[in-house]
Amino acid sequence: MLNFQQGLDFALKQDKKDALSSYRNQFHIPKDKDGNDGIYMVGNSLGLQPKNAQTYIDEVLTDWATLGVEGHFLAKNPWATYHELLGKQMAQVVGAKPIEVVVMNSLTANLHFMMASFYQPTKTRYKILIEADAFPSDKYAVESQLQHHGFDAKEGLVLWKPRKGEDLPNYEDLETILESRGNEIAVILIGAVNYYTGQYFDLKRITELGHKHGCMVGFDCAHGAGNVNLNLHDSGADFAAWCTYKYLNSGPGSIAGCFVHERHAYNKKLNRFTGWWSHNKETRFKMRDDFDQLPGAEGWQLSNPPILAMATIRASLEIFEEVGMAKLIEKSKQLTAYLEFLLNELATDAITIITPNNPEERGCQLSIQVKNADKSVFNKLTDLGVMADWREPNVMRFAPVPLYNSFQDVFNLVERLKLVLNH
């Protein structure tokens, strides 16, 4: 880790040495009120637009205009197989095998599709375990699954909570829950990186614990994909799902990703919803054949994919493939540690970092708790050109994304925060 120093000169020196600094130029950076690049620290909510996204969208529009329906097979990148362009690249991002990954649907829809297969409750084993402060849509989704199967949503939900006075849940408590109630729990569904605190959970440890007690284990990787080393295959997780509009820069509300471990790849007995895009590719367009399940994660696709949405994620994934997750995470750790250093140097009790200080237990997000839950600090920061976000009741989230944020961005952020706190 770098020996961090105060002052702008240090930040500028690090940016000059940064081998990835040029990738910032491949993204559109929102401007501040003076027309300069803003301080964009909210890639954990919506990643910036790759400049190449418009090129790939235009390519699809041109093929549609000139080829019409023939674009399915005659386009520059035929639409019938367009999703296959993304599978290998996405697998590299999330640490999976290509057969285990497919780009499809939206995040919560994918979680429901996964639970249709992996949540198979019985009268005695029907409960679902999530972290207490899971992203709201995860909680809503599992509650609705419980209700769909005829169970009481509140009684069927098992919450992994932090201890009193603490912000982060710990693994000893998870072990205790599973030792005492594991035979009641059908599925464990955890956010790989908690949206609120930024805590990166040990996926392999959780999976092994769950499997030891006969539970299926899945992860919502919305805040992990493109941010941390998920290593989904090696984790042993049964399934995972993630959106692509945060760290993967695919555009607002864009298409999502899905993982199914290869040990389930050829299991045609798994309950699932099906459609013609999960049917054997060789006979799909013959239209008269009985359903023939595709192996792997592709076997969970239902419909032909939205090509325009896929064009934007293709632009971003090409950058990820070129850079590689190892280099991105190396820079991410430096940037985040630098932000942590500067925040600690403020030596104020007005803010507290609630994200783990162990770099292996977080990604690039630091969550800052504001004393007295005073949102005025956040509002003043926004007025000074800082784009971050506020999460009730009292947390600001800053995410220095390694693809397009700089050490100077981090320095300027903390300087403006200092200005706000001192006035």
Cβ proximity of 213 and 186 under 8 Å: no
Of the pLDDT bands very low, low, confident and very high (cuts 50, 70, 90), residue 374 is confident
Helix (H, G, I), strand (E, B) or coil at 41: coil
Summarize the confidence of residues 70-94 as an average pLDDT.
95
Instruction: Count Cβ neighbours within 10 Å for each residue of 339-368 and write b for 16 or more, e otherwise.
Output: bbbbbeeeeeebbebbbbeebebbbbbbbb
Q: Is residue 16 part of a domain?
A: yes
Write the pLDDT tens digit of every residue in 322-350: 999 999 999 999 999 999 999 999 989 99
Query: Do 102 and 202 fall within a single domain?
Result: yes
> Quick one: pLDDT at residue 281?
83
Q: Is residue 1 part of a domain?
A: no
Q: Give the dihedral sign, CA 207/211/214/216.
A: positive
Question: CA dihedral defined by 340, 344, 349, 350, rounded to 10 degrees?
Answer: -50
Summarize the confidence of residues 245-267 as an average pLDDT.
97
> Quick one: pLDDT at residue 288?
79
What is the length of the chain?
423
Beta partners for residue 216, in sequence order: 187
Residue 256, token pair as written in the block: 């999502």
Q: If 0-12 CB within 10 Å is exposed, 13-18 middle and 19+ buried, where does residue 279 land?
A: buried
Of the pLDDT bands very low, low, confident and very high (cuts 50, 70, 90), residue 1 is low
Of the pLDDT bands very low, low, confident and very high (cuts 50, 70, 90), residue 372 is confident
Does position 2 have pLDDT exceeding 90, yes or no? no
Q: Is residue 3 part of a domain?
A: no
Cβ proximity of 198 and 224 under 8 Å: no
CA–CA dist 411, 166 (Å, integer):
29
What is the average pLDDT score of the chain? 95
Query: Do 369 and 401 fall within a single domain?
Result: yes
**338 phi-psi bin (left φ>0, alpha ψ -120 to 50, beta other):** alpha
Write the pLDDT tens digit of every residue in 89-137: 999 999 999 999 999 999 999 999 999 999 999 999 999 999 999 999 9
Helix (H, G, I), strand (E, B) or coil at 49: coil
Does position 405 have pLDDT exceeding 70, yes or no? yes
Residue 162 CB coordination number (10 Å)? 16
Q: Is residue 276 part of a domain?
A: yes
Query: Do 236 and 307 fall within a single domain?
Result: yes
Query: Do 23 and 89 fall within a single domain?
Result: no
Tell whether pTM > 0.75. Answer: yes
Summarize the confidence of residues 223-244 as an average pLDDT.
98
Q: If 0-12 CB within 10 Å is exposed, 13-18 middle and 19+ buried, where does residue 399 land?
A: buried
User: Of 300, 321, 342, which residue constitutes the final position of a domain?
Assistant: 321
Cβ proximity of 421 and 25 under 8 Å: no
Residue 260, token pair as written in the block: 């199914």
| DSSP state at residue 87 | H
Structural domain including 107 reads 58-321
Total domains in the fold of the chain: 2
User: Of 321, 336, 353, which residue constitutes the final position of a domain?
Assistant: 321
Query: Do 299 and 404 fall within a single domain?
Result: no
CA–CA dist 341, 407 (Å, integer):
12
> Quick one: pLDDT at residue 233?
98
Query: Do 372 and 341 fall within a single domain?
Result: yes
Query: Do 32 and 70 fall within a single domain?
Result: no
CA–CA dist 4, 18 (Å, integer):
15
Does position 144 have pLDDT exceeding 70, yes or no? yes
Q: Is residue 156 part of a domain?
A: yes
User: Of 252, 287, 321, which residue constitutes the final position of a domain?
Assistant: 321
Query: Do 348 and 315 fall within a single domain?
Result: no
Q: Is residue 2 part of a domain?
A: no
CA–CA dist 10, 28 (Å, integer):
25
CA–CA dist 87, 418 (Å, integer):
44
Q: Is residue 52 part of a domain?
A: no
The fraction of the chain above a pLDDT of 70, given in percent, is: 100
For the domain that residue 243 is a member of, what is the CATH number? 3.40.640.10
Residue 60, token pair as written in the block: 């699809």
Cβ proximity of 100 and 261 under 8 Å: yes
Query: Do 359 and 394 fall within a single domain?
Result: yes
In angstroms, the first-to-last Cα distance of the chain is 33
Write the pLDDT tens digit of every residue in 345-357: 998 999 999 999 9
CA–CA dist 277, 253 (Å, integer):
22
Helix (H) or strand (E) holding 243: strand 239-243
Helix (H, G, I), strand (E, B) or coil at 126: coil
Query: Do 119 and 266 fall within a single domain?
Result: yes
Query: Do 346 and 274 fall within a single domain?
Result: no
Query: Do 220 and 334 fall within a single domain?
Result: no
Q: Is residue 317 part of a domain?
A: yes
Residue 345, token pair as written in the block: 């140097």
For the domain that residue 361 is a member of, what is the CATH number? 3.90.1150.10
